[in-house]
Every structure is written in C-alpha cells, then in structure tokens.
Chain A
Amino acid sequence: MSNYQLLLPQCTLLMGVLVLALFEIVDKKFHHYQGWVVHMIALSLAMIQQTLLYRLPASLYGTGGMILDGTTQLFSLSVLLLSILIQINRRAGKYSSQSQTAILTLGITFFSLFAIQSNRVLFSVTSVLAMIWLSHGVLATETKRKEESNLIYSGIIRGVIFLVVGTLLVTLCMSIFGESQMDEIQRVIVRGRLRQGPVFVVEVLILFLGALVLGAPPFGGLLGRARNHASWSLSMGLTGVFAIVGINIFIRWGLLVFTRPAIGVLELESLSGWNILTVIRVIAVVGLILTPLFAILDRNVRGSLNFFILNPFVQALFAASFGQREILGGAMAQVIVAVIIIGLLISSFQALDFSPTASLSQWVAMGRVDVLTCLSIILALSSAAGLAPFYGSYLMQKTLSINSAFAVVLLFNVVLSGFYVGRLITLAFQKGGLHGNFATVSRSQKIWFTVQFIALIFMGIFWQPLYKYGAYSIRQFFGET
C-alpha cells in the first residue's frame, strides 16, 4: 500500500471525466443516457473505493500532500453521496442531455475531494478555486442563453477574489511557518516561538475563507444569483457540496490545526493567543440567527431554501465550536444527515417540476395537490430545522447541555427555524392556491421519497450508529487509533 492509493477515487472520477469528454468529442454517436450511466458508474465506484479506504493504516496518513483520517473520510463520503443523489435526480431532468454539464459536475466532485483531502493549503485553495469556476460554468449552462456570459463573468470575479485571499493565506503560511502543510503548521505553532500577530492574520483568513465557502449568511455570496434559474439538483446540490467543503475548512484548517486535545483528552484547547474556538462560535452564532431569518424574509421558494439548507451545517459548526469530544462527534454526523436532507429536497422539488422562480403563493395548498411529496419536503425541512424526532434534535440537546450563555442563540435558531417550517406546513394545507402546472409524481418516485424520509426519521430515533461514526471520525485526532 502506498500513499497513491489515497487517490483511487479521484482517478476513477478523472476517468469518468475523460470518458464523458470522449462522448462530447464524438457527439451524437452516444445517447445522453449513456453519459448519465458513465457518470453514475464513476461516482458509485469512487464511493465504494472511498469507503474501502478506511482500511488504510494510520501510518500513511499525514506523510504526504494528501491526508485521509476519519474526518476527511466522512467529508469525502458526504460529498460523493451528495453527488450521487444529485446525479440520480438528473436522470429525467431536461438538462441531462448536456454532456458539458455532466463533465463540469463530475469535475466539481473531483476537485471537492482534493479540497477536502489535501494536506496543503495551497492545493486546497487551488481546488476550491476550480470548484468555483466549474460551478459557475455548470450553473450558466442551465440558464437563459443571454444570461450565460454575465454569470460566467460573475463567477470569474468571485473566483479571483477567492484566489487573492487564498494566495495571501498561502504566502503568509509559507513565510510564517515555512510550509503550507497543515500538520507542519500545527507543529510550528506548538513550539510557541512565533509572534502572535501573523498567526492571528492567518487564522482570520482561514475563518474568512471557511465562511465564504460554507456560504452561511452574511457570507453567502460565492455562488450568488447563478443558482436562481438552474435546475433544483444543481442549485441545491452545489450549495450542499460547497457547504461540506466549507465546514471541512473550519474543522480541518481551523480547529484541528490551531487547537489540540487538552489533558484528559476530552476537549480541545487553543494553541494560539487568539482562541479560535470562540471566534468560530461567534461566526456560527451569526449564522444561527441569519440563516433562518433570511429564509423567512425571502419570498422566493428557491431563494429561501438555498439559505435554509445551510441550517444543519451552521448548527453543526456551532456544536463543533465548543471543541468537546462528544459534541464534535455529533456535529460530524450531522453533515451526513444534511446530505440526505438536501437529496430528499432535490428529488421532491425536481419530481414536482416546481418552478425555480416560484414564490410562496405557489406553495399554498401544495399538500392538497400531492400530499406525499409535500410531506417529504416538509419533513426534510423539519429535519434541517433540528426538530424532534430528527437527528438535529439530538445534537441540539447535547449542545445545549454545555454550560454556555451562547445556548440561548441556539434556542432562538429553533424558534426562527420552527416558524419557517410551521409557515410552510400551514400554507401547504390551506384553502386556495394557484395550483400551477406541477408534474405528476410516479409511484416509484413516491416510494423513493418515503424511503428517504423514513430513513431521516430513523436516523433520529436510532442515532447511536450515526453518532458512533461521527465519533469514530474524530477519534484519531484525540490520539486513539
């Protein structure tokens, strides 16, 4: 076994990109469904390979440019699972014939794995930059032709801004620590001979980039209006992929580099003078308030959902910011739940052929049109809000049990999220409604929704295996093998 085996999933994805590119070159000789099948095979194979990589011994972990410990494994699997869910929902999509879209989407998954698994800040910054440009490219393919160039330019500018900040961060890392490798940076900080000022600047830049990629308000501008007219699968799916990469930056670049397990190995202590845990908590607190609030204020269904699907990530970030072992494990598991929530939302809205520009008035009486699909959406949103019996409620209880004044904000988040979900539920079963031209949902799709939302509820009731996986993912960091 060698370090190169860490790259097996990426190689599979790259092969998928090449085959799809071949389809694009020969054109018309392949049916678009074949492209979809190749895409699915590449993702599924990568998922299987990624899962099997848990067998790699710990000695191989941090020795090279790539890293594969429990946290990167969990985030990588989440990204692959979400990509598969996106792709499943694109089978019947009217955009599925565009092979360019397929290549770009697979490219985003490819780079997101690099962004997560790279042990060097430099490589991660480059990968995220590629993700930004590719996602703007792919979202532009699903909008009006005259809008395309605007979105591409907008994407380039956003990417360049990210690149500037990223370059600054890499340069600072190289000059202060002599290395952009994360475990090396931590070793230098542990020695404690650095001036606190530059370390402080590096921390600020990392947290800024993390918040930017996560997209939690008020930093939610990386994808911008490119998502407004794209399909449900890409709009919400890419938001989810970026959120996973963003939370990875917070946890891996922030928490795991600038803290270490305290004596007793139950919680983290800050390595620098500036307590990064507190700052992450402040960012999460702002997100906890603004995420549901912006969702409530946005009258456009797509717009409000793009905010609200970030709620479980923000809750997980808030929980992780306490740096306690038990809560950190719970927060990691929340990321997997968030992926399933996004998958369920994508499939439900896509199946209904719900207009991307629909306002809340078109949601009215939706439950009378198609009760099962509507309830799938509602239950997915309830899960995103952290309501019982879903997994989020377990994480909430555990987070609230920490003695902190910040807990009030979490309760406030539940109030706002509950209001948002409550409003959607009451409107869904009301009188009237415009009853737009919604697609008829097939029996097999309904069974698929039912399976997903029952899985969500059972993840809440039988949370132990999920929590244990989350705890397992961080075990190595706490000095256990």
Chain B
Amino acid sequence: MKLRVITVLLGLLSFSGVAFFMAPASRELWVILAFLCFGGILVFDLYDQIASQWMNPIIFLLIYALILSAVLEVGVEGFWRDFAGAVFLVSLLFEQNANQWTGFGALRTTLTPALIFLMLVFAQSLPSLPPEVSYGFSLAALIMASYLELFCIFREGSASNAGSFMSALRVACVGVGALFYCSVFVPNLAHQMPYNIMSVVLPGIAVLIALFSAFLNHWRRRQTLFFCNWSLFIFWEALSGEDFRLYAAIGALLGGAWTVMMTLRDEIDPENYKQLYLKLSAWGIPGSFLFTMIIFGISPSQDELLRRGSALWVLSFFIFWAGLRGFKIPKERPSARPSWSWRESLALVVTLVGASLLAGVRILPTVFSDIWIRAGGIK
C-alpha cells in the first residue's frame, strides 16, 4: 500500500514539475490548479481508495497527465481530445471500482456518456458545421461530462459511488476542462446570442436534477447528483465571463474536488460533532467551504439572465438541503468506531478555513483577483 501511495505521489510531483517548466507563462497557473485538485484528492483519500490496487494509481496518474496535457495544448482540437481521454478513463474507473451489478444496459453505465462526449468532440471537427453548432456541441459535451454518474444512478450498488475518488476525479476533470475552455478558448461566449441563454438553461437543468434527486431514497445517490450539479455550477460560473465569478469557480472547483473525498462514508458517532460537521459540510450547508463558494458564485450581477440563473441555483441548492430533513443521526454509537486520523483533521480545518474566507473577502474584496493577476493569470 505504501509503495502505491509513494508511486502516485512521485508521479504527481514529477508530472507537475515537467508540465510547469514546459508550460508558457500564461498556462503555469492552470498547471498549479490541476496539481492542487489532484493533489487534494490524494491527500484527502480518507479510505485509501486510490492505493487499494495497482491499476487505480496508474489510471489516476494517466488522467492527471491527460489533464495537464489538455491545459498545455495550443489548439482547441488537442485540448478536446485530451479532455475526452480523461473522461473516458474516469468512466472506466467507475466501472472498475463500482460494486458488481448484473445485466447490460447502455443507459446504466458511465461509458455511454463518455462515448457521447467523444462523439460530440469528434463532431466539432466537421468543417461543414457552422461555428454556432460546433460551440453548441462543446457546451453539450461539458454538460454530458458533468452528469457522468447520472447514467448509472439506478444501477444496483451505485450508491457507493458517492464520496468515491472516481467522483472526485470527475469533478476535477470537468472543472479544470470547463474553466480552461471557457476562459482560454471562448472567453466571451456568454455575451453572444444564443449562448447567453445558457446562463438560465444550466441552472434550469440543475433544478430539474435536484427535483429528480428528491425522489431518491438513498442519501448517497442524492449526494452523487449534488456533485454532478456542482460541476455544472462551476461550468456556469466559468461561462458567465465575469472575472469575479471565474475566481469563485476556481475556488468552487478546489472545494468540490476536495470535499467529495472529505465525505465520511461510515456511520457517524453521535457524540462526535466533528464527524457530523464534516459529513454535512459535503452538502454545502452554511458554514462550509462549499457554502462560501455558492455565495461567491451567485454574487450580484448587472446581467439580467445571470441574476435569474443565480436564483435558480439557490433554488436547486435549497431542494438538496430540504432533502437533508430525512438525515438521521444514529442514537447509539456504531459498533465499529470510525477512525479519526490527521486526514480528517485536515479536512475539518480546510472546511472551516474555507468558510472563513467569506468573512475575509468581505474585508479584502479583491483578494482572489489580486492573487490570480499577480501570479500571471489570464486576466
């Protein structure tokens, strides 16, 4: 186990180092962002899922290499190909690590959306298509990647995907991909007709998914959908084209990818309030890192459509929070007492520090933009 952890750590560091020194100045921050996402997933791997078997670290590193390659690509075609490769490998990890199930249903596997994603990527290469349609395909591909897990939600044992490293990888890949594409290749897309309508369409989809999740009994399945929506939230923020919302999206990406791994999967100890806080913070409840990012993400805007979109996002999050009313705290201590290691403590600190950012940004409103600009960001 230790050897696998050391291997993946060394791989992560060496890939990042090579990518950082090869990257042009404008892409260095993207390499750092990808490193923070994937490094966080590794650090917060509370249940040692990544190191459980050799194939997981290998594919984890390959996905990381593809994402790094994607953010270093000069052309949009190369970016989409690398991105599609990462999505395919993530979907493969879902199949490999998921609970065993029976039957064959094309609509019950994560591979189907990954293949649709690839088709949408290939279709963008057709020169006969007008640019509007090509952009439409790229936006559809990002939506498809955001809802990768939706396709296997009704599968037996799919609840175990909540809080899995595959789910965190999906959030990281889609987040980095969406942010990079929207910021570098189509920075002004949201201000053009008919794409500005996406400011409302994306939150609308999120509300529909939230309503759908309300009918699911298992909280883990609802949480899977919550993080699917979170990816869409990052995409929406990135697409808005507003600087402040872009910085919020970066925070939301880091918060989302890490929080998936911070989620405690075991039954909690009713006397341990830290466990309860950590478990609930994965829903973006007030006082959590994710909540701070929600506040930043839906901050006031001059754009009418964005304001409506923000309202829809609030609605979708409320629907998820309303579902927490059924959350039962066990009255007795679980037979197998959950462990509390340095990783859980670190997760708790990150959540609390993330929450305190809200206060910090009130005092220093330009803190995100200052960091991004001074570090040589794209804006």
Contact = CB atoms under 8 A, between A and B. Distances in A.
Contact of A414 (B65, B100, B122): B122
Interface in A373-423: 375, 378, 382, 387-390, 393-394, 396-398, 400-403, 407, 410-411, 414-415, 418-419, 421-423
Contact of B102 (A403, A407, A411, A432): A432
B77 interface: yes
A427 B58 CA distance: 22
B53 to A, nearest CB: 6
Nearest to B156: A431
Contacts of A457: 62, 85
Interface string B60-95: 001001100100000001000110111011001001
A107 interface: no
Contacts of B127: 401-403
Given A378-B92, A414-B118, A414-B122, A460 B85 contact: yes
A62 interface: no
A472 interface: no
Interface stretch (A51-59, A115-123, A223-231, A363-371): A363-371
B58 A450 contact: yes
B100 A426 contact: no
B65 A430 contact: no
Given A411-B119, A457-B62, A389 B92 contact: no
A388 to B, nearest CB: 4
B212 interface: no
B96 A389 contact: no
Contacts of B3: none
If over half of A's interface residues share one DSSP class (helix, strand or loop), that class is named, otherwise mixed; here it is helix
Contacts of B106: 419, 422
Contacts of B118: 387-388, 393, 414, 418
Contacts of A425: 92, 95, 109, 111
A461 interface: yes
A422 B109 contact: yes
B336 interface: no
A426 B114 CA distance: 13
A429 interface: yes
B128 interface: yes
Nearest to B155: A426
Contacts of A419: 106, 115
Contacts of B111: 418, 421-422, 425-426
Contact of B98 (A365, A394, A429, A432): A429
A367 B126 CA distance: 36
B294 to A, nearest CB: 33
Interface string B325-367: 0000000000000000000000000000000000000000000
A372 interface: yes
A365 to B, nearest CB: 7
Contacts of A389: 62, 66, 81-82, 84-86, 88-89
A414 B119 contact: yes
A428 B92 CA distance: 11
Contacts of A394: 81
Interface string B252-270: 0000000000000000000
A96 to B, nearest CB: 29
A423 B101 CA distance: 13
Contact of A429 (B77, B96, B121, B128): B96
B311 interface: no
B58 A415 contact: no
Nearest to B53: A371
Contacts of A367: 95-96
Interface in A418-477: 418-419, 421-423, 425-432, 450, 454, 457, 460-461
A223 B86 CA distance: 38
B84 A393 contact: yes
A34 B103 CA distance: 49
A394 B88 CA distance: 15
Kindly list the 9 A-B residue pairs having the minimum CB-CB distance in the complex, ordered from nearest: A389-B85, A388-B84, A431-B100, A388-B85, A400-B125, A418-B115, A422-B111, A403-B127, A397-B125
12 contacts: A367-B95, A388-B81, A388-B82, A388-B121, A389-B66, A389-B86, A393-B85, A394-B81, A411-B122, A415-B119, A418-B118, A418-B119
Interface of B: 53-55, 58, 62, 65-66, 69, 77, 81-82, 84-86, 88-89, 92, 95-96, 98, 100-104, 106, 109, 111-112, 115, 118-119, 121-123, 125-128
Given A371-B96, A394-B81, 16 more contacts: A372-B55, A382-B88, A388-B81, A388-B85, A388-B121, A389-B66, A389-B81, A393-B122, A401-B77, A401-B126, A402-B127, A418-B111, A418-B115, A419-B115, A429-B98, A461-B66
